Every structure is written in C-alpha cells, then in structure tokens.
Amino acid sequence: MATTSTVKVTHGFSKDYRPDLKQVVTELIVSHDSGIPLCMKNHDGNESDDVVFRERCAQLQEAFKNNYVSHVTADSKFYTEANSVNWDIVKFTTRVPETIKKAKLLIQTANENGDWLQSSDGKTRFIAYDVVHYNTAQRWLVCQSDESLKRAEKSVEKQCLKERDSIQKEISNFQAKFFDCRSDCEKAANLIGKKWKLHTKLQVVVFEHAKYDSPGRPSNKSPVGYKYQAKIQWQKNPEASQVLLHRKASFVLATNTSVDDIANDDVVSCYKQQQWVERGYRLLKDPLFFANGFYLKKPSRISALIMIVTLSLMVYTIAQKRLREAMKKKNVKLPNQIGKLVDSLTIRRAFQVLQGINFVKTDDYKSGFVQGLTDRQRDIIQLIDGAGFHLYRLQEYEESDHILSGIAKESMA
C-alpha cells in the first residue's frame, strides 16, 4: 500500500554504514513461499524499525483474532515480553534474542551434550527442548549449521586478533614499568589477564634490579635499594576459542505449536522461509537494479519511485515462481551461471539467457518477426508461461517434449 503522506528524507541509523547519506525506511511484507510483495509502506529516514514493528503487530493482532492468519514467522524483535501477552491468540515461530540469559544457558547445554539431530535438508543440526518462558509453554530448538560455523570462525578469528593486539599493547606498557616493592609488582601482574576471553596467562617472572645512589657504573658499595620488573608469558586459549565458536554458531528458535502441528524439522524450514524478505531487499539494493541511490529531490517522487521498484520486484518474483514451479513439475533442469544443471533457476539468469532476441520490422512497418530465438530461450519462455508467447510470436506447446529435447541437444553440444 502506498503512503498517504510525504515521507521525510533525513539522516538516520544506516545499516549500510553510510551515516553521511540521507535515507528513507521501507517496510515490506512478502509471501512466505516465494517472496511476492504483499504490502509496502515508506517511513521517515530516522524512523525506528522497532516502532514500525510494534505498530504492525497491533494490526496483525486483529487479523489473528479474526482467524485471518493462523501462523506467523518473525525475527527476534517479535520475541519480547510485551508481545507475550498476545501469544495465546497466535501460533508463532521466531528467533530468541541472544541477550536472554536462558537462551545462552541452553546453547551452552546443547554444545556440551552434542546430541544433534539432522534436518531434512542436511544443512542444519538441532536439539529440541521444552521450556516455559514469559509464562508461555514453548519448544526451543538450538540450531547450528555448517554455514553458521563458517561465519562464526571468521568472527572469532577477528575477535581473537583484536584481543591479541590489545594484550600486546597492555603487556608492553606494563613490562616497561618498575616497582619499588616486589609485592606491589606481583599484585599488579596478577591483575593482568582477568578480562582476557580468548587468551590465557602462563607465567609471571619478577626481575630484581639494584638501585645505587649515583649514576654510572656500579661501584663496590652495596645498593641503596632495589626495583622490580615483571615479565608475563601468555598464549592463545584454544578451549575458550572453541566454546565461543560454537556459541556464536548456534541460535535458538522458539515456537508455541505442538509437535503434532509442526514437527521440529518443519520449524527449522519454516524459519528459513523468512529469507524471502531479505532476498527482496537484497535485490532492491543491488547495483544492477539501480535502486540503491535516488537522484530525485521531491520526497513524493522518491516514494513513487520506491512503489514502482516494489511493483517491479513483484513482477520479478511472480515470474521466478512460475519458472521454478514449471521446472519442478516437468522435471526440467537448466544450466545456471556456472553451467551446472539446476531445477531452481533464478529469473535473473533466465533474463540473461533471453538477451540477444530482436524484433525485426518489415519495410512497411506494419508487421515484423522475432529473430535470434534459440531452443533454450524457447524453453524458458514456455516455462514462464503467460503473455510471453504472444510477445515473442510463439505458439503454446501442447507437450513438454520440446523442452526435454532442447535441453538434451544443448547438453550434448
């Protein structure tokens, strides 16, 4: 739905790390199966997404009460104590914020036990627990995947290097100090390392330096006193790194549905369907789409352009859904960007394949014909269906033998 008032283009929190640029905030609701836009609304550039989410939840509650919506999948912003008062009228699947102490303890317990179950797609492992939180009986699934482990490895390594540099600077400054008392030196050295998370202190060695009453080469006289200096030996703590790695790679999903309604494996796949929203935004911000920056001055025109871009996204996702459903229904595989045959081709790749088709007009400019169509392009036009047959001056094929034969000929070539 379009905005009823002009949005304010202003500075706000930039997730693209460009606080110097003004922005607008766009709210988008898409279908769960293919990411088709269902609702769009623009907000001021400094609008908080928490406020937007609370307002939308208030409207969704009415839909839940009237049984218009039976189940909702949301991100961690949905899981709040304030929203818990409405959980008796809605079935949900959401991610539990990592700041909740109970979630941290459950992640630690799951990683210590290690009794992981594999999801049907083979990409995610999980352990299910029955918990009561915010006065609501729930199922919590501690999940982990190979992709999350790879992301966690990079994060832990980055954190380890940052802590290492900080430790080197701290120890270098400390070891340059001299103390008049041995106990003070040892006490100060013992304080070093208490805040380290990924490194550990191995040994503290205190050196004694004689102090004389006059500068220069020491004489045979006894020193007037002593100064003390400490040297600290330290190293990386691999056990702490592993604990942090598995903690960062794990996340908790919560649902108030029963196992009979939604199995544990379906809870994981249901939550992953939320990626359609992120994919829609990723497409809108893609440089090839030329929508990541606006060269307009009037806020009303910016709002209108965002609406047009959203409509373009709707056409894009509908075409992609048609293509993928037809490919699976007819058991057809097409080569992707790297030449691998897949049954879930993106519509962007399909548009790339459709390049090079020309419409040639006759001398009288009253008629014309399509030139440059290949068998693969005909296959894609047939799979997408719709008005493409008329635009490309094609007739609908009654059987799918042409598709299979066309793919077979190109694969053999």
The pLDDT tens digits for 126-173 are: 999 999 999 889 999 999 988 889 999 999 999 999 999 999 999 999
Q: Where are the beta strands (DSSP E) in 156-244?
A: 199-211, 225-236
Neighbouring CB atoms inside 10 A of 111's CB total 19
Q: Which residue has the higher pLDDT, 234 or 278?
A: 234
- As a whole number of angstroms, the distance between CA 392 and CA 354 comes to 11
- Specify which of 41-50, 152-161, 313-322 reaches the highest per-range mean pLDDT: 152-161
pLDDT given for residue 273 in this prediction: 72
CA atoms of 353 and 59, how far apart (whole Å):
43
Confirm if 349 and 337 have CB atoms less than 8 A apart: yes
What value does the mean pLDDT take over residues 403-410? 46
Residue-level pLDDT at 276: 65
Gyration radius of the chain over CA positions: 31
Rounded distance between C-alpha atoms, residue 341 and residue 334, angstroms: 5
The model's pTM: 0.62
Percent of the chain past pLDDT 70, that is, above it, reads 82
CA distance 192 to 177: 13
- pLDDT of amino acid 20: 79
Confidence of residue 282 (pLDDT cuts 50, 70, 90): low
For residues 170-184, average pLDDT = 90
Picking from 220-224, 266-270, 373-377, which range would have the lowest pLDDT averaged per residue?
Answer: 220-224
